């Protein structure tokens, strides 16, 4: 059974790359790193019931498992190349198992193809439904976008819009109202099929002073940049980019809280010296995702948010943390 599944995965996800000297099928893959490039590697795990609700379509899960990893490479300014997939599947009837694997491979392959990523190996075991994907990408030496380069006076930007996925997560059931249902479907798509901002990450190379992808919520993730860079950030709440789908389904304060503290956006949050801001913004607009200025880097630490009238806001929660109790951290 395991080998049939691997065959299927291999057949369904085949993506040719010259630098894959030996792909799925041996004890290890053999890969040729281009001369003069640094290898950027990342791994992320999705657990059923934690990272995606039970009942999520298999193709969406396959897509998302790769997407969250490509988002990490995007945040480093790396060009994606290879992926490994460790799959833990519960025991179930062969037909259901095959449908699950076909769906996973289908969604995974769709995104892999659009970024030229080859699945070069993995592991398949039985247990609770968990997917771990590891990705590898290339970046010219010294050009990776890191978290520790933000400087006082830099402007803070974010690509796309924020908060949609978190709002989508709370809207499982279809709505009888057709307009509301249209918005819900749009929000759910942001949750289930995040678009990793790979092209934006490449465009930011050599220009952004720091970058992170927003996976745990803007406040938490920009907080990581501030911590690593030894600076603080001031955001302006009315500048947060919010989609019409999000604004159509809740009031502005709730939309703002989703944008600040909801997770799963997979947008890039980055800092740029003011002299470069215009050029960077124009380039990202050309790429389609756009970038919105949301604040600036200041001396100090932590992230603070001002309202239009200059009042400081207290967001509902600062972000997603799997181990909120420090003592429970592994
Ligand atoms: P080994 O026991 O030597 O680790 P496996 O039997 O686990 O080898 O896997 C056989 C081949 O299939 C390997 O090349 C491995 O990388 C690949 N493979 C196994 N599971 C997956 C998977 N879920 N996705 C992609 N490739 C896989
Ligand atoms: Mg194995």
Whether 75 contacts 213, CB under 8 Å: yes
Domains of the chain by residue range: 2-139, 155-319
CA 45, CA 73: separation in Å to the nearest integer? 15
* Ligand 1 atom index nearest CA of 87: 23
Report the range of poorest mean pLDDT among 25-34, 46-55, 280-289, 320-329.
Answer: 320-329
Does the beta carbon of 118 sit less than 6 angstroms from any atom of ligand 1? no
CATH numeric code, 155-319: 3.90.650.10
Residue nearest atom 11 in ligand 1 by C-alpha distance: 25
Tokens matching residue 112: 């892999």
3-state secondary structure of 284: helix
Average pLDDT, integer, range 161-182:
93
Predicted confidence at residue 52, as pLDDT, reads 92
The beta strands (E) that lie in 127-195 are given as 130-139, 155-159
Average pLDDT, integer, range 238-247:
97
Predicted confidence at residue 329, as pLDDT, reads 45
Distance linking the first and last C-alpha atoms of the chain: 34
Q: Does this chain's domain 2-139 share its CATH topology with 155-319?
A: no
Predicted confidence at residue 296, as pLDDT, reads 98
Q: Which residues contact 162 (CB under 8 A, 6 or more apart)?
A: 214, 218, 240, 241, 242, 258, 259, 260, 262, 265, 267
Rounded percentage of the chain residues whose pLDDT exceeds 90: 85
CA 184, CA 218: separation in Å to the nearest integer? 22
| 89-110 pLDDT, tens digit each | 999 998 999 999 999 999 999 9
CATH numeric code, 2-139: 3.30.1330.10
Ligand 1 centroid to Cα of residue 91, in Å, is 18
Predicted confidence at residue 327, as pLDDT, reads 45
Instruction: Please determine, for residue 63, whether its predicted confidence score (pLDDT) is greater than 80.
Output: yes
Beta bridge partners of 233: 297, 303
Ligand 2 centroid to Cα of residue 33, in Å, is 24
* Ligand 1 atom index nearest CA of 28: 14
Confidence band, pLDDT 50/70/90 cuts, at residue 13:
confident
Average pLDDT, integer, range 261-276:
96
Mean pLDDT over all residues of the chain? 92
Ligand 1 centroid to Cα of residue 56, in Å, is 25
User: With DSSP H G I counted as helix, E B as strand and the rest as coil, what are the percentages for the chain, rounded to 5?
Assistant: 40, 25, 35
**pTM for this model (two decimals):** 0.93
């Amino acid at each position: 059974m395991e080998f049939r599944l691997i065959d299927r995965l291999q057949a369904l996800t085949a993506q040719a790359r010259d630098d894959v000297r030996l792909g799925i099928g041996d004890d290890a893959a053999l890969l040729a790193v281009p001369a003069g490039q640094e290898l950027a590697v990342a791994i992320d795990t999705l657990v059923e019931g934690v990272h995606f609700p039970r009942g999520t379509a298999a193709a969406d899960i396959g897509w998302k498992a790769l997407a969250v990893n490509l988002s990490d490479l995007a945040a480093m300014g790396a060009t994606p190349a290879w992926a490994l997939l460790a799959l833990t599947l519960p025991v179930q009837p062969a037909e259901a198992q095959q449908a699950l694997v076909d769906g996973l491979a289908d969604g995974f392959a769709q995104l892999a193809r659009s970024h030229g990523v080859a699945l070069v190996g993995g592991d398949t075991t039985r247990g609770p439904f968990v997917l771990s994907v590891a990705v590898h990408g290339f970046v010219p030496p010294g050009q990776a976008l890191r978290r520790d380069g933000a400087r006082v006076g830099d402007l803070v930007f974010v690509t796309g819009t924020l908060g949609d996925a978190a709002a989508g997560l709370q809207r499982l059931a279809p709505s009888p109202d057709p307009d509301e249902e249209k918005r819900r479907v749009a929000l759910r798509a942001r949750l289930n099929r995040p678009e990793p901002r790979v092209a934006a990450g490449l465009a930011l190379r050599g220009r952004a002073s720091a970058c992170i992808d927003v996976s745990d919520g803007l406040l938490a993730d920009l907080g990581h940049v501030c911590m690593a860079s030894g600076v603080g950030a001031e955001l302006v709440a009315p500048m947060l980019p919010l989609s019409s789908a999000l604004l159509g389904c809740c009031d502005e304060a709730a939309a703002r809280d989703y944008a600040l503290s909801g997770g799963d956006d997979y947008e890039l949050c980055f800092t740029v010296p003011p002299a470069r801001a215009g050029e960077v913004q124009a380039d990202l607009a050309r790429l389609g995702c756009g970038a919105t200025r949301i604040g600036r880097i200041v001396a100090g630490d932590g992230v603070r948010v001002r309202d239009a009238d200059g009042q400081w806001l207290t967001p509902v929660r600062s972000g997603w943390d799997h181990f909120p109790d420090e003592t429970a951290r592994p």
